[in-house]
Structure 1
Amino acid sequence: MATAPSDEEMLQAVERRVSRPGVTTRLTVPGAAALTWQSVFECRIVRSVERRTERRRRVKGRQSGLANRPTYTHLGTYPVAPPADPGAQRRLELVQEGSLAEEPCEDCVDGKRDCEACEGRGGRPCPRHIECDACHGGPDACWECDGTGHPRTKRSRAPRPRPEGAEARAACKRCRRADVACPKCLGERQVTCPVCKGTGTAGCGTCKGAKRLRHEECGGTGRFTAWTEGVVTHTPAAEELRPAYPPFSKLRKGQWRTAVLTSADDDLPDFLEDAHLKQAAPFLAVKEGEVGRRVTLRYLPLARVELRTDPDRVYYAFPEASGEIEVIGRPSRQRVTALAWAAFAVITLAALVTLTLLR
């Protein structure tokens, strides 16, 4: 791995940038420039965090597949290898030894229960007859006997005139007189119930006469499967350490140094500066439940150079992937401040002139 450029190499690169034809600037001369290192350091870590939980499970029916699951005695000591990729999500379901059992359902018989709607009778009581909806069970049931079977007179009364379009009257079943009774109930005031057909029992709309229904709580199996379940999960957790640095797009083309660590015992790369090591130490500490990690470290040497002869500019230098040193010039802070004050002064003066002209 290539070593970082020296202070002298960085200053020489800035020299080439600021020199003009016929004028050579010597920045390596003591006091000609001030160089400070502001190297870029990035760190990303992906941890695999393990969590173990245990609970009692009870599900409907027979669960034959549970016999194929791994078993354990003590969940905390059951060996589970961490995932090869810390960024992978993983879930392992276990069964505690001796905990798997089948339990009969106490609320049904062979997976069925009496229908609650009809209480296991297959139907419900129903009146055999209902009021005639043509004469409504009133005197119009029979003009002669009013549906009682006892005519008012011994002689038949003259027939009442029928309204136009009205249905013809029929012979009364009770008093035997002709052309006097309701054509639907024939003077009896009621008709056979259309629901039960006169049987006195209506079918149950819930069980359709079966009297018993499937017990949904046990899935119609009449049993439950119970066991103690242990679950081991590996969940990726990512974090980034990205300190602020100059937002230069050209930095992406720099000669970044990269290192990948896969263990908390791995040594940090020797290309990092002391300040970066202090930043990384607490960030890389092992966290609770961590069983695996992948740490990606990126480093780019970046020098900030100020010239004694040009206080209005600041230069940043860094090595490119090609090995050459790139130099970027930017206005210094004092230059930016001076320009801001100048702009403010111009705006203020313009405002004063405008107010004077408007008076």
Structure 2
Amino acid sequence: MATRPSDEEILQAVERQLAARRRINTRLTDPGAASLVWESVLECEIHRSILKRDVGPRKAKGPLSRNRHIVERVTCADLEAYVVEPPADPAQRQVVHLVQEGTLDEVPCGDCEGGTQSCGTCDGRGRVDCPAWIVCEVCRGGPDTCWECDGTGTPRTRRARGGTRPRREGTRERAAECKRCHAADVACPKCSGDWRWECPACDGKGHLRCGTCNGDKRVRHKGCDATGRLTVWTGATITHEPHHDELPVKRYSGRLRSGDWHREILTSPHEDLPDFLEDGHAKRLAPLLQKREGEVRRRVHIRLLPFARVETPADPDHVYHAFPLLSGGIEVIDRFSRQRKAALLWAAAAVVALAVTITLTVLR
């Protein structure tokens, strides 16, 4: 890493920029010709490995013979004290499963009988209820079921009802003979006075075979995978979760990436900060670098690029950022000054206002 250039070298680099791009020839090293302030871009990214330990009773579907992956796990006497080395890269996730010695066993499933249980859909009956009869969709079981007996089988003794005889809506089909009172041309042509017909799904039986158990009354118990057995043990799940933090930074030109950055990698919360950081930088980093609960490993990337901010009355519309390059030499970036940005905003606002005024004038 090159030594920070002197203020004079910075001003001379800005002079060359002015002459090449603005065609302004001036000596910025003269008193009062320019102001120079050293600033810096500070970046910090930290990856942590956070330890989490979950200990407690466990169970798995099926007998031990079907759970070889559990039988082959590491066993230990004290799940709380067992140490698992965190991953070398704290950005990687790691999960380790443990079994406490003497706790691995196989037991009957308490929620089924031999891997099956009573069907919950039909309550173990093997069938579900179904309406045996369906109301006629033409007369809907109302007065038009039969013009004489209203579907009761007993002819009316009162005067005949006025109006037309029942007909299926939208057709010219004549009414049928009533199956109940046997009067001709008075009944609904669909049900012939019965006002209903047998349900086609159950053929009038009033029940259907249960679709869940297919009439067997019992179903496979998913809780034990239909084995009737469970594998039980006391276990621990030790997880190293990656956690990422970074220092919020202002947006700067991507050309700064080519600069001669100071770089340092820290792997312990007890390491001293690099010498290239100033007191203000250390204060900004302090909250980010504090050790978090459960932290067992970290990797901190600290990057710093010093640059000089130069302003000159010879070019009040621009501000110049100058910084050292890895290849040697000095890079200069120019940006609009605050005064120039304000002037451009006011000009844009004036154009918009003028356009609105012209539009309103034309529309009148």
Task: Report the TM-score, using the length of structure 1 for normalisation.
Answer: 0.64
* Aligned amino acid, residue 17 of structure 1: Q
Q: Deviations over 1:270-291 (max 9, x none)?
A: 2223322221111111111111
Q: In the alignment, is residue 282 of structure 1 matched against residue 283 of structure 2?
A: no
Cα 1:337/1:63, change in 2 over 3 Å: same
Deviation sequence 1:279-336 (CA, Å, 0-9, x none)? 1111111111111111112222221111144333211111223211011222321233
Q: Which amino acid aligns with 1:34?
A: S
| 8 Å Cα contact 2:64-2:106 kept in structure 1 | no
Which residue of 70, 78, 82 maps to 1:78? 82
CA contact (8 A) 2:26 2:314 kept: no
Match of 1:306 among 294, 311, 319: 311
Tell me, yes or no, if structure 1 residue 341 matches structure 2 residue 346: yes
Are the structure 2 counterparts of residues 7 and 111 from structure 1 closer, same or farther at C-alpha, using a change threshold of 3 Å? Answer: same
Partner residue, 1:99: 103
Q: For residue 273 of structure 2, what is the aligned residue in structure 1?
A: 268
Q: Distance in 2 between matches of 1:230 and 1:327?
A: 58
Q: Residue 254 of structure 2 corresponds to which residue in structure 1?
A: 249
RMSD: 3.9
8 Å Cα contact 1:40-1:245 kept in structure 2:
no
Q: Percent identity, aligned pairs only?
A: 53
The count of aligned residue pairs is: 274
Letter in 1 for 2:75: T
Residue 224 (structure 1) aligned to one of 222, 230, 239 = 230
Q: Which amino acid aligns with 2:320?
A: Y
Is 1:324 aligned with 2:329? Answer: yes
8 Å contact 1:52–1:75 — kept in the other structure?
no
Determine the C-alpha separation between the residues in 2 that align with 1:101 and 1:293: 39
The CA deviation at 1:264 is: 1.6
Please say if residues 254 and 300 of structure 1, whose CA atoms lie closer than 8 Å, have aligned partners that are also in contact: yes
- Please give the alpha-carbon distance, in whole angstroms, between the structure 1 residues aligned to 2:309 and 2:288: 27
Greater mean alpha carbon deviation, residues 2-11 or residues 106-115: 106-115
Match of 2:264 in 1: 259
- Report the alpha carbon displacement of residue 108 of structure 1 after superposing the two structures with TM: 6.3
1:348, distance to aligned residue in structure 2 (A): 5.6
Structure 2 residue 320 is the aligned partner of structure 1 residue 315: yes
Q: Against the structure 1 CA distance between its residues 85 and 24, is the aligned structure 2 distance closer, same or farther, given a 3 Å change threshold?
A: same
CA contact (8 A) 2:38 2:309 kept: yes
* 1:7 maps to 2:7: yes
Q: Is the 8 A contact 2:306 2:323 kept in 1?
A: yes
AA in 1 matched with 2:258: K
Once residues 34 and 103 of structure 2 are traced to their aligned partners in structure 1, the CA distance between those partners, rounded to angstroms, is: 77
Determine the structure 1 residue equivalent to 2:93.
Answer: 89
Aligned match for 1:67, one of 71, 84, 106: 71
Q: Is the radius of gyration larger for structure 1 or structure 2? A: 1
Distance 2:104 2:43 in 1: 51
Determine if the alignment matches structure 1 residue 238 to structure 2 residue 244.
yes
Task: Extract unaligned runs of 5+ from structure 1.
Answer: 124-203
Shift in Å, 1:115? 10
Q: Is the 8 A contact 2:117 2:221 kept in 1?
A: yes
Name 1:25's counterpart in structure 2: 26
- The structure-2 alpha-carbon separation of the partners of 1:326 and 1:57, relative to structure 1 and needing over 3 Å to count, comes to same
Whether contact under 8 Å (2:321, 2:333) holds in the other structure is yes
The aligned amino acid for 1:224 is L
Q: Give matches, 1:34-73, under 5 Å.
A: 34-64=35-65, 65=68, 66-73=70-77
Between the aligned partners of 1:321 and 1:36, the Cα distance in structure 2 is: 21
Q: Once the 2 structures are TM-superposed, how far is the Cα of residue 351 of structure 1 from its aligned partner? A: 7.1
CA displacement 1:96-120 (0-9 Å, x = unmatched)? 2222222234566765789999x9x
Tell me if the contact between 1:41 and 1:243 (Cα under 8 Å) persists in the aligned partners.
yes
